[in-house]
Amino acid sequence: MSYSIALAGKGGTGKTTVAGMLVKYLVKKGRTPVLAVDADANANLNEVLGLGVEETLGDAREQMKTGTPSGMTKDIFMEMKLQQAVVEADGFDLIVMGRPEGAGCYCAANTLLTQCLERLIKNYASIVMDNEAGMEHMSRLTTNNFDALLVVSDPTRRGLQAAFRIVELADKLSLNIARKMVMVNRFREDQARGLEEALAEYQLDFVGTMPEDPELQALDLAGRPTSDLGPENPAVAAAWRIFDAIIT
């Protein structure tokens, strides 16, 4: 039985970094094959995972608007482009949604793309979807039919307020998500009291903190894959403890 988890949060919380750690965790635990889906218009999950991307599904949407090759139906064309967009790695695959480049309606292309993606997902034991920052993906029902939603916050009241609003919107939209959780990234011990007070105010399903880590920040600034950090790193160790607790 497959396990699917989507990540969300406001910009700058380290959501994509956590997504990369989660992919590597699932591979290490043998929950393979893993499909990593970068659904962020500002796609950079591939950089966190140390992979190059030549084609996105946004490219397929653009091409379908101008017409499919002669003798090929639109659904077969989309299926082909979906397969071409899959980047294979050790224990996991990555697919980047990308973003439309031009004006006009993408409804038909998006519908076909969703259908193809649903068929693809059935081939994987684990699915990790990194969503764009904010809440718009909720309204578009991108984050639907998941076992879990993990909202990544920073250790601020505004960050937790944003996390609360994301969870609240998921509830209002009646999204099919079994569990909605919140974790706090870049945490320092001197923030413990403020965090406790904010969590008491917002009543979230809080699953833990990941500490602020200089090594992680240095890798990020150098443009190196942060997912290369091992479990001996304090931030990775904290993230893995959270994953151990939430993934059954």
User: To the nearest whole percent, how much of the chain has pLDDT over 70?
Assistant: 88
Contacts of 37 (CB under 8 A, 6+ apart): 94, 95, 97, 117, 127, 128, 129, 130
- Please tell me the predicted confidence (pLDDT) of residue 211: 97
pLDDT confidence of residue 115: 72
Instruction: State pLDDT tens for residues 50-86.
Output: 999 888 877 877 777 777 777 788 778 878 888 888 9
Least confident range of 61-75, 79-93, 113-127, 206-220: 61-75
Report the alpha-carbon angle 160-220-7, nearest 5.
Answer: 40
Q: Has residue 152 got a pLDDT over 90?
A: yes
Predicted confidence band at 232 (pLDDT cuts at 50, 70, 90)?
very high
Is the pLDDT reported for residue 108 higher than 60? no
Which residue in 221, 220, 232 sits closest to 18, CA to CA?
Answer: 220
- Tell me the C-alpha distance between 89 and 46, whole Å: 11
Q: Which domains does the chain have, with CATH numbers?
A: 3-246 (3.40.50.300)
**Section 208-225 average pLDDT:** 91
121, pLDDT greater than 80: yes
